[in-house]
Amino acid sequence: MTRYPARLWKVSGDKISCGVCARRCKIANGERGFCGVRENTDGVLYADSYGLLTAANLDPIEKKPLYHFLPGTTTFSVSGFGCNFRCKHCQNYTLSQTTSAPAEFVSPEAVVKEAVRLGAASISFTYNEPTISFEYVYDTAKLAKEHGLTSAFITNGYMSKEALLELAPYLGAIRIDLKGFTDEFYKDVCGARLKPVLDTILLSKELGLHLELVTLVIPGYNDSVEEIDSMLDWVTANLGPAVPHHFTAFMPMYHMQNVPRTPFSTLDRIYHQAKAHGLYYPYVGNMPHDPGSKTFCPKCGAVLIERNGFSSSEPGLEGGHCKKCGRKIEGVFSLADL
C-alpha cells in the first residue's frame, strides 16, 4: 500500500517535530505521535491513515451541529480513526480511541464525486478528530471547492496555527468543541490543555470562517454557574454575541458511565445564562427544549428558524434576513454567501 508523506514537520535533532496539532510531538525513528497515525520512518514523517475511512454518510447539516451554516441542506460526512485527545467521555471512542480500525481507502476524488452524486452541499470531516488527517482533509476540501462544494471541519480545536492557516481557504465552516473552561477539566478529562483550543477559536474568528461552538455539559465536571459564567464572559468579550453556541446533554459513555445524564434543569439554566450574557444564538441539544431549538431575530424577536430533531424550516428567514424587521442574520444561508 502506498504511504503518504505528511506535511508540516521538521527534523529536530534525531527526531521529527510534527507541526499539525498543538501537541507538536517529537517522534523518534520507528515511532508514532500521540495520535497514533503519523509515523517517523527513517527521517520522513508519514500520514499512515491517509484516505482510510471508517464511515461515510449523508447527514443533515444540523446533526454536526451547525445551525447557521446552510440550514436544511445535507452534508457528506467522512471519518477516519484516531485522535489527539483522550476524553474519558468520548461518544465515538470506537473510532477515536484506537490507532487502527476497519477502514477502506477512499480517494479525495471519490469522496467529492459521491458528495456531488448525493446532492450534498458540503463535505464534513467529523466523528473522529480530523486534524490528525490534515493532508487528506486539505486535498479533499480543496478538490470539493473546485467542484462547487464547501467543507465543514468538526474539531476539538487542538490544531496548530500553521495547519489552520493552510486549511482555512478551503473551509466554509469550523465547529469547535469548547469542552470546558478550566485547564483542570481539559487535563483531567481530555488529556489536553485549554489555551490551544481558545487560540484556535480566536484564529478561526480572525480568519472569517463561519464558527460555531459546542459545549457538552457534564454534571459535576463543567456545569457550575461560575464556570459557565467565565466561559460566556470570554466568548462575548472575544467573539461578540453572534457566534452560535450549542450546549448539549451528556449521556453516560466510555470511561464515564457512572456519571448521570445532564438534567433538563441544568441545560435550561445555562440557556438562560447565555441569554443574560447577551448571546444572540444559544442552543440546547440532545434533549427537547423549545426555545433552545429555535433561532430568534436579535432585533425584533421573531422566530426565524424552527427545528424538529435534525430537520429545520425557515418561517421567518428570507435571503439571510429577518422577514419581519429586515435585520441581516449572522451565518451562511446559501453557497453564494461564501
- Output the known binding site: 83, 87, 90
Q: Of 267, 259, 271, 268, whose CA–CA distance to 219 is shortest?
A: 259
Residue 199: CB atoms within 10 A of its CB come to 17
Rounded to 5°, angle at Cα 136 from 131 and 138: 75
Could you give the C-alpha distances from 45 to 8, 91, 134, 141, 159, in angstroms and in order? 9, 30, 13, 22, 17
The answer to whether residues 75 and 119 touch, using CB atoms and an 8 Å cutoff, is no
Query: Which segments are annotated as binding site for [4Fe-4S] cluster?
Result: 83, 87, 90
C-alpha cell at 142: 480543496
The answer to whether residues 144 and 170 touch, using CB atoms and an 8 Å cutoff, is yes
Could you give the C-alpha distances from 140 to 8, 69, 190, 305, in angstroms and in order? 17, 19, 28, 31
- The torsion of the CA quartet 167, 172, 173, 174, rounded to 10 degrees, works out to 0
Beta strand extents in 228-320 (DSSP E only) = 245-249, 282-285, 295-296, 303-308, 311-313, 317-318
List CB contacts of 8: < 8 A, sequence separation 6 or more: 18, 19, 20, 134, 160, 162, 163, 166
Q: How far apart are CA 146 and CA 139, in angstroms?
A: 11
Q: How far apart are CA 328 and CA 135, in angstroms?
A: 36
Mark residue 293 as left, alpha or beta (left: phi above 0; alpha: psi -120 to 50; beta: remaining): alpha
DSSP, res 202 = H
Across the chain, which distance is largest between two alpha carbons, in Å?
A: 64
